[in-house]
Chain A
Amino acid sequence: MTKEELIQSENLVYKKPRLLNDTTMHYCPGCSHSLVHKLVAEIIEEMNIEGDTIGICPVGCAVFAYRYIDIDWLEAAHGRAPALASAVKRMWPDHLVFTYQGDGDLACIGTGETIHALNRGENITVIFINNAIYGMTGGQMAPTTLMGMKTSTCPYGRQADLHGYPLQITDIAATLPGTCYVTRQSVHTVANISKAKKAIRKAFENSMNHKGASFVEIVSTCSAGWKMTPDKANQWMEENMFKNYPLGDLKNE
């Protein structure tokens, strides 16, 4: 069988989503962002809504998401993505409008914008990458940093008396009447990637169907910030992150 004979659509088992730009990503090896980007691109393509989709980038590692997924994008100030998304969705009520934010952006500097956009029941999707650390700025403590976890601004480990506690923002989101779907997923195994994809798709469908705010947390690794190999980071996440951030739906209406 020649190469030409082999390259047939019926033989295709995997391909890069069309909406994922053919460029080099700046993400570190083992980072969860690139996988979630791929899922987002795939789902928009599968739902055939790229002409009615606007994404909102955060400040943080995903600040350049607009370079990687081929749709219209707005780059927000740090933490303000849900405010932008609220307005964009109200201007284009039939569009898919989603934010893509990290823990510092969403659960620290933008806590107010996050909670109020969700609580207004804005018909948007919030994708929340929680790796418990500030990746972009070089490994500082995040609102979701685990107790005892070492970062460059809590080098002896997070202590309650010095730093307070990890913020359970996803649990808070689930208590808000404006949210219709709140779930916590991960992308560290093939099975989990598949579940995360279903979750994001459901959230996007909710947004298109005006069901309220959907919130998808992806418990993620930051091998560079955690100073671990990608493989070790996955293992550490399973052993430590999932205790504090257990996977599954928190709300599904």
Chain B
Amino acid sequence: MEEQEYILLKGNEAIAHAAIRCGCDGFFGYPITPQSEIIETLALEKPWETTGMVVLQAESELASINMVYGGGATGKRVMTSSSSPGVALMQEGITYMAGAEIPGLIVNVQRGGPGLGTIQPSQSDYIQATRGGGNGDYNTIVLAPATVQEMADFVDLSFELAFKYRTPVMMLSDGVIGQMMEKVKLPPFKARLTRDEIEEKYPWAATGKRKPGQSPRIFTSLDLDPQVMEDHNKDLQQKYSTIKENEVRYEQKYCDDADYVVVAFGSAARISTKAIETLREEGLKVGLFRPITLWPFPEKELLELSQHVKGFICIEINAGQMVDDIRLAIKCSKPVVQYGRMGGMVPTPEEIAEVIKQNAR
């Protein structure tokens, strides 16, 4: 395997390059700031001439997500990307994918809201992303990258999880990580699967019913018999339990001796890290707990941590969304304060350090 070198890329560009390299079969998207570099990079790279990956600018986010529904049902690795207002439009397709058990990747490079809001960064789609977002009882796996490297690495990981569980997976990023440049080592090239390989690996996929006597593959989220539909819902919930059991991901820094722990994800986590490192130099025992999967949320790990600390400080770039999950996880056993900025304002490390100092006493 070739050894990759570090290169300098924007987070959005890293996603595009990682997609081409991880055997992605199709990208379907609609331009929206601050993530348009993803489709622009793909258009420049012309992967249809090299790996055969399809890149299509759709007429809307609704069409994009429904193309992902169609492509995912064929057993192919397909994805879309957008930003908050566009992802709101995609909720229809995401719930249909969850219901029909179709794998696929949705990247949300979040911006501030509500409504058209702003083109500046935000983390205010946390609740939408972690509660399903569309109609019905379902969840999507949500991964929150905090570096450009993770923007690249989580593309393949998302597809692996999406196909393992036949479910849509969301990468919940934001305008900070999407737009900033950082060194990144791109993943090695992986071949796209052939029809034979797909039929072997994913017998559920719509490839055409070419074997005599074979049952047709039917993708639907509909049944008019409530008992059948309840059974289907129970199966989905069982799958979500398995995901909760097996797929929790998180990172801890400086937590071993910490009196207070900052809980933050994505860009808020990296800004908090800077603040924590400054405070550590001043002798304050503060740690960082960074959920990498926002759903499933690292509940057990936070509960365990809560037994050794005096309190938590939740830093997120929104009005206070993940904070509820922290309180639920630790069963309100320790104080949890929340600090956030909104409307596209991003907190500085100094600002966060001040908040930590005020509360970590």
B residues 56-102 near A (Cβ < 8 Å) are 56, 58-60, 62-64, 66-71, 73-74, 76, 78, 92-93, 96, 100
Contact check, B74 vs A88: say whether CB atoms are below 8 A apart.
Answer: yes
Interface size class of A (residues with CB under 8 A): 20 to 34
The answer to whether B58 touches A63, judged by C-beta atoms less than 8 angstroms apart, is no
Please tell me if A52 contacts chain B, counting CB pairs below 8 Å.
yes
Contacts of A205 in B (CB 8 A): none
Q: For the complex, is A150 an interface residue (Cβ under 8 Å from B)?
A: no
Given the known interface contacts A90-B56, A91-B54, the answer about A76 and B210 at a Cβ–Cβ threshold of 8 Å is no
Q: How many residues of B contact A (CB 8 A)?
A: 39
| Given A84-B70, A87-B68: A54 in contact with B92 (beta carbons within 8 A) | no
Q: In the assembled complex, how far is the CB of residue B249 from the closest CB belonging to chain A, in whole angstroms?
A: 29
Given contacts A80-B66, A92-B74, A112-B63, contact A73 B218 (CB under 8 A): yes
Closest residue of B by beta carbon distance from A66: B218
Verify A92–B207 contact, CB threshold 8 A.
yes
**Distance in Å: Cβ of A223 to nearest Cβ of chain B:** 22
Shortest Cβ gap from A208 to chain B (Å): 12
A31-80 interface with B by 8 A CB criterion: 50-54, 56-57, 63, 66, 70-77, 80
Determine the chain A residues whose CB is within 8 A of the CB of B28 once the complex forms.
87
The answer to whether A87 and B78 have CB atoms under 8 Å apart is yes
For the complex formed, measure the closest distance between the CB of B56 and the CB atoms of chain A, giving whole angstroms: 7
Whether A74 lies near B206 (C-beta < 8 A) is: yes
CB distance from A173 to the nearest CB of B (A): 15
A84 neighbours in B (Cβ, 8 Å): 66-67, 69-70, 73
Q: Does B219 contact A (CB under 8 A)?
A: yes
Q: A87-B28, A87-B71, A113-B63 in contact; A70/B209 too (CB < 8 A)? A: yes
Contact: B60 with A112, CB < 8 Å? yes
B59 A113 Cβ-Cβ under 8 A: yes
Q: In the bound complex, how far is the Cα of B63 from the Cα of A76, in angstroms?
A: 11
A237 on the interface (CB 8 Å rule)?
no
**Contacting pair B67 A72 (CB below 8 A):** no
- Name the distance in Å between A60's Cβ and chain B's nearest Cβ: 12
In this assembly, does A201 line the interface, its C-beta being within 8 Å of a C-beta of chain B? Answer: no
- Residues of A contacting B191 with CB < 8 Å? none
**Are B217 and A86 neighbours in the complex by a CB distance under 8 Å?**
no
| B188 close to A (CB within 8 Å) | no
CB-contacts of A71-106 with B (<8 A): 71-77, 80, 83-88, 90-92, 95
Chain A residue numbers with a CB within 8 Å of B59 are: 112-113, 116
Q: Is A91 within 8 A of B25, CB to CB? A: yes
Q: Quick one: given A52-B210, A80-B62, A91-B25, are A86 and B92 in contact (CB under 8 Å)?
A: no
CB contacts (< 8 Å) of B74 on chain A: these are 54, 87-88, 91-92
**Binary contact readout B203-221 vs A (1 if CB under 8 angstroms, 0 otherwise):** 0001111110000111111
What is the CA–CA distance of A188 and B61 in the complex, to the nearest angstrom?
39
> Please, how many angstroms separate the alpha-carbon atoms of A97 and B226 in the complex?
31
* B-facing residues in A222-246 (Cβ within 8 Å): none
Interface pair A51/B208, CB less than 8 Å apart: yes
B291 within 8 A of A: no
Contact yes or no, A74 B73, CB < 8 A: yes
- Whether the Cβ atoms of A63 and B26 lie closer than 8 Å is no
Q: Is B222 an interface residue (CB 8 A)?
A: yes
Option from A50, A57, A72, A91 in Cβ contact (under 8 Å) with B217: A72
Cα distance A75–B63 when bound, in Å? 15
Distance in angstroms from A191 CB to nearest chain B CB is 32
B contact residues around A90 at 8 Å (CB): 26, 54, 56, 71
Residues of B within 8 A of A77 (CB): 66, 69, 92-93, 96
Q: 1/0 contact trace for A115-131 toward B, CB 8 Å?
A: 01000000000000000
Cβ A72 vs Cβ B218 within 8 A: yes
With contact pairs A86-B70, A87-B28, A87-B67 given, residues A75 and B222 touching in the complex (Cβ less than 8 Å): yes
A63 in contact with B219 (CB, 8 Å): no
A90 to B74, CA, bound (A): 10
**A83–B62 contact, CB under 8 A?**
yes
Say whether, besides A72-B209, A86-B56, A88-B71, A116 and B220 are in contact (CB < 8 Å): no
Contact of A88 among B63, B70, B195 (CB under 8 A): B70
CB-contact partner of B216 in A56, A70, A87, A116, under 8 A: A70
**Chain A interface residues toward B at CB < 8 A:** 50-54, 56-57, 63, 66, 70-77, 80, 83-88, 90-92, 95, 112-113, 116
Pick the 10 closest A-B CB pairs, nearest first. Answer: A51-B210, A84-B70, A75-B220, A87-B70, A87-B67, A83-B66, A116-B59, A80-B66, A87-B71, A72-B206
25 sampled A-B residue pairs with Cβ under 8 A: A51-B211, A57-B220, A70-B216, A72-B207, A73-B206, A73-B220, A76-B69, A76-B96, A77-B93, A80-B62, A80-B66, A83-B66, A83-B69, A84-B70, A84-B73, A86-B56, A86-B70, A87-B69, A87-B71, A90-B56, A91-B25, A91-B70, A91-B71, A91-B74, A112-B59
